[in-house]
Amino acid sequence: MLPRSARVRRRGAARLSLALALSLALLACALLASVMFGSHSNSPGDVFDVLGGGGDTYLRTVVESRYPRTVLGVLAGTCLAVAGTLMQGITRNPLAEPGLLGINAGASASIVAATAYLGASGQSDTMWWALPGAFLTALAVHALGTAGGLGGPARLVLAGAVLSAVLTAFIQAVTLSHPKVFETYRYWVVGALGGRDFDVVRSVLPFALAGLLIAALLGPRLNAMAMGDDTATSLGAKPHQVKAAGLLAATLLSAAATAAVGPIAFVGLAVPHLVRVLVGTDFRFQVLFSALVGPSLVLLADVVGRVLLRPQELMVGVVTAFLGAPALLIAVRKMRGTS
């Protein structure tokens, strides 16, 4: 009979294998659904014909037109989910995510200001302007939330809410004062995958890859951070450096996703909670599985938005908001029950 420790390791490995298989299957289904459904739906056989180089011209045009939004859904979902996992890890706050902590609002405000006053245009320009806005907002939220050495989940969320409200008011003032900016911004602000091409992917991909690389390297250190700063220091981790690196990675990921598809709420909040149910609290696995589950959630939300009001389209940011609100309520109840 195997020792107890060996049985525990075997059960853990079996659980991870099952979770990986389920996550990959869900992502495969989401990818297939994304290229199948729209104002005109196709069968799986039609999609596989096109992927194999067959199908008539009309069918190829319809299916291939959905490739950019599918790739963008994968990119945005990965970035937002991993950013949420990082934010919850470095703050030890189950409510932390880029939207609630103001990072998305900061990126949006920076893009709006650059478009209105500096003539920025195109995805490359907005990417460069999204980064400083997101980063400065993240620093401001952290400074306000830990002022006087008294940090905590409630203070960080409150600081994010205050700054988000201020930045939202600024965005509204600028867009209402500049009709041309408003025309551009109103299609971007809700968060949508349609109307973009692969140039957008190429513009934001370097920043997304940099953020994902940092996130992957931080996994073991975030495990140490989960036990408290003093314990993490005794284990060889440097809390201030880990927090700075995690904040940098989350900012890069959030800014990349926001610049590419607009602010999509609640993905960074809901996915880490789902992943912890699957794989537990080990951040090495949380980062990996967030990169699988996040794209699935965004793509499936986009498919729902496309078919719900067919032939019109409901933007993905609206669908994720409806899905994310219950996740926020559940997280708050769990947080209250452990406080």
The string of pLDDT tens digits covering residues 125-170 is 666 787 788 888 888 887 887 776 555 556 777 888 899 999 999 9
pLDDT band at 46 (very low <50, low <70, confident <90, very high): confident
| Tokens matching residue 268 | 């960074």
Please give the single-letter amino acid code of residue 215.
A
Structural domain containing residue 318: 73-338
One DSSP character per residue, 182-212 reads HHHHTTTSS--STT--HHHHHHHHHHHHHHH
Give the C-alpha separation, 296 to 293, whole Å: 5
Domain annotation covers residue 86: yes
Q: What does the pLDDT average to over 314-320? A: 87
Give the C-alpha separation, 74 to 64, whole Å: 16
**Share above pLDDT 90 across residues of the chain, in percent, rounded to a whole number:** 24
Q: What is the pTM of this model?
A: 0.86
The CATH number of residue 215's host domain is 1.10.3470.10
Q: What is the pLDDT of residues 25-38, one digit of tens each?
A: 999 999 999 999 88
Confidence at residue 215, expressed as pLDDT on a 0 to 100 scale: 94
Domain annotation covers residue 47: no
- Cis bond before residue 272 (omega within 30° of 0): no
Domain annotation covers residue 56: no
User: Are the beta carbons of 302 and 70 closer than 8 angstroms?
Assistant: no
* Number of domains, the chain: 1
Domain annotation covers residue 35: no
Q: What is the DSSP letter of 298?
A: H
Within 8 A by CB and 6+ apart from 234, the residues are none
- 249: Cα within 13 Å, side-chain hemisphere: 31
Tell which residue, 69, 81, 80, 89, has the closest CA to residue 107: 80
Confidence at residue 4, expressed as pLDDT on a 0 to 100 scale: 65
Domain annotation covers residue 79: yes
Does pLDDT of 74 surpass 60?
Answer: yes
pLDDT band at 124 (very low <50, low <70, confident <90, very high): low
Domain annotation covers residue 87: yes
- Which region among 94-98, 183-187, 303-307 has the lowest average model confidence (pLDDT)? 183-187
Within 8 A by CB and 6+ apart from 247, the residues are 90, 138, 139, 142
User: Are the beta carbons of 221 and 242 closer than 8 angstroms?
Assistant: yes
Q: What is the DSSP letter of 332?
A: H
Does pLDDT of 337 surpass 60?
Answer: no
Domain annotation covers residue 2: no
Domain annotation covers residue 161: yes
